[in-house]
Structure 1
């Protein structure tokens, strides 16, 4: 390949990656901002706090059902259509639920939100599973693309809720909800503009979701990736609760929002670092090492004596988690069998979301005592898990 052809190939890969980032950010912003939009809309509609919480849970809890529809992604002749249809369904049910919430019993929009939430994992892990077909096969190109994928998660996780808050304040929560629904539907069209991934020669070889989960657990690198992903997600979910608990002692209860924003800025900073310097080395080892780095960052959070150092520590935790997340994406890409790649991505993503919800709940229960205790516990848990995985890997266990 001459210099002109090489440049054209690189330009083509960059264009495909840019389209991927746009599509991923659109659909993930809709998924990431949905809970905030629905809770705000429920409050504006006069729903009690308990009903608002249940409506928010109605769109997050069904993520656990996502893996049971994920097999279709691996067996489809054109996986783009499956993801685009998922984005379309997610956006449509979200929008209709928003329209129904102010005018009917809460159970009706709750059912619609459950249906919408079932397709959420397709917009996170399902989209990520398409990334290997978009860039070159070299580890360097794959890792750089995964860095952009981490950025997409960071941008959408920040942009979705922020856009909802701004639109709700300047217009109404209903308009914010409909804006998210529109983003998901627009994202469906953007997904169809991505390159098509070659279908499997024999879709019959694709196992069931339960069998796929079992195979993940039996294969060392994927088991360690899944286990560490779940534990780290459980751990970092403690941080917003800790921020609320510790903010008054740092000067003002309102500083909790700033601390959480610092974590978000750290995540985006980590994404930027990864774009310039993608991770190198074996992804199985990287996940364990970076899980230990997350544990160290969590300990740093509770060791800070004032607001400035606490803000820096929250930012450091965001950076550490961003690097860890990139390592897990690399491990899923490199170790997942071709016939179950979509299911592997979605299983890990769905269990990660469930673990994050559990971490928030546990932190809320424990925080009434010493505010530092939940963070110390999850830091120790992450460190222990990382150590066990490193020992298993050093002994060659599968």
Structure 2
């Protein structure tokens, strides 16, 4: 791990340009492929739910089949090792995109014409590919843009933007196509996007495997998780990421209930979530134009406190217009935080386990976000603003823990 960090931050590596054949062209292909893949991943759940409900299926069935897309993301760390073992990681990700497209298509087309269990298995197969479409693709970015830290940080802004596009364009595209044609057509459009992403991934610059032919040196999933747990900077990356994800997951749920106490129509909750999404995209552009600087470990703590400030602004908003601005601000600050976590994964993960580290963090983040949504749903019954208050207190506690841990680590280093 230390050698990888040194290589990425030495004076020579900061001045070297990107490898031949990479740079802007490779980054452009990356952005297109990542945006297509993440749009498919972000919109699939909405398409499945609409498919079931529009055909008269129960809400329970819609939830179960939707979970078949999201729950298998937890298997990501066990899929990720194939990425670190591969001689050409592009082929692994491209195969995942094609399998995702095929399984999603088959799952949608079999619904109502075959046993539900078969549809569920097909959708679960697509969901199991999801981690490679998210964290797996992100792990390719450092090799594409080269070793210069400023270039990597700017590229991470583009990467954050593709996540924002996936999370906003995907569901919006599904909603539009479902109303215009049908939910089936919307799901097939997402599948086509994932298949197209496979071609884009194969056009990315090739990077040699980090194991140097010694495949036994690649850690297994449990060993990678143990490595993360005992490596202070990676450990802090994980729990700060998880706590922030749990906290901001309350925003869409809270938006619906805030409209009641702010005296606006329930439909205006969409404006709040749209403001948050617009804030995400605005923050991504800001990181592209002015990349983050400094140590990612310190950046994460400071930017997590920025998210706390955003949540506090939402909690204290006295009027709807102020709430819209607060949601947008929180989206911007959360994007900055997300970019800092990508920098931490890139710079702190050992090269032989980078793919697994990226996907472990992504899987734990998704799990925490799902828990945050469920928690918010239960707490809003007590008080509308309670989920936000719990979230900002949780993030503050996590930042405090990370700060104390860092100071102990520095003291131990000075006086071993």
Question: Where in structure 2 are the equivalents of 1:20-59 lying within 5 Å?
Answer: 20-59=30-69
2:325 is the alignment partner of 1:315: no
CA apart distance, 1:26: 0.7
CA apart distance, 1:170: 0.6
Query: Which residue matches 2:405?
Result: 392
Query: Which residue matches 1:153?
Result: 163
Q: Determine helix, strand or coil for the equivalent of 2:266.
A: coil
Match of 1:330 among 308, 322, 343: 343
Contact 2:17 2:148 in 1 (8 A): no
Aligned residues between the structures: 393
Distance in 2 of aligned mates of 1:296 and 1:188: 40
2:233 is the alignment partner of 1:221: yes
Query: Which residue matches 1:379?
Result: 392
Query: Which residue matches 1:208?
Result: 220
Query: Which residue matches 1:3?
Result: none
With over 3 angstroms needed to count, the CA separation of the structure-2 counterparts of 1:92 and 1:387, relative to structure 1, is: same
Query: Which residue matches 1:81?
Result: 91
CA apart distance, 1:110: 1.0
Runs of 4+ in 1 over 6 A off after TM superposition: 6-11
Distance in 1 of aligned mates of 2:280 and 2:21: 28
With over 3 angstroms needed to count, the CA separation of the structure-2 counterparts of 1:324 and 1:119, relative to structure 1, is: same
Cα deviations across residues 138-195 of structure 1 (Å, max 9, x unaligned)? 1101101111101111112111111111111111000000000111111011100001
Query: Which residue matches 1:139?
Result: 149
CA apart distance, 1:106: 2.4
Unaligned runs of 5+ residues in structure 1 are: 1-5
What is the TM-score with the length of structure 2 in the denominator? 0.92
Contact 2:142 2:346 in 1 (8 A): yes
Cα deviations across residues 239-288 of structure 1 (Å, max 9, x unaligned)? 11100111122211111111011100000010011111100000011111
Contact 1:93 1:115 in 2 (8 A): yes
Question: Where in structure 2 are the equivalents of 1:293-372 lying within 5 Å?
Answer: 293-372=306-385
CA apart distance, 1:393: 1.3
Distance in 2 of aligned mates of 1:262 and 1:8: 36
CA apart distance, 1:203: 1.8
Q: Determine helix, strand or coil for the equivalent of 1:124.
A: helix
Contact 2:18 2:147 in 1 (8 A): no
Question: Where in structure 2 are the equivalents of 1:232-243 lying within 5 Å?
Answer: 232-243=244-255
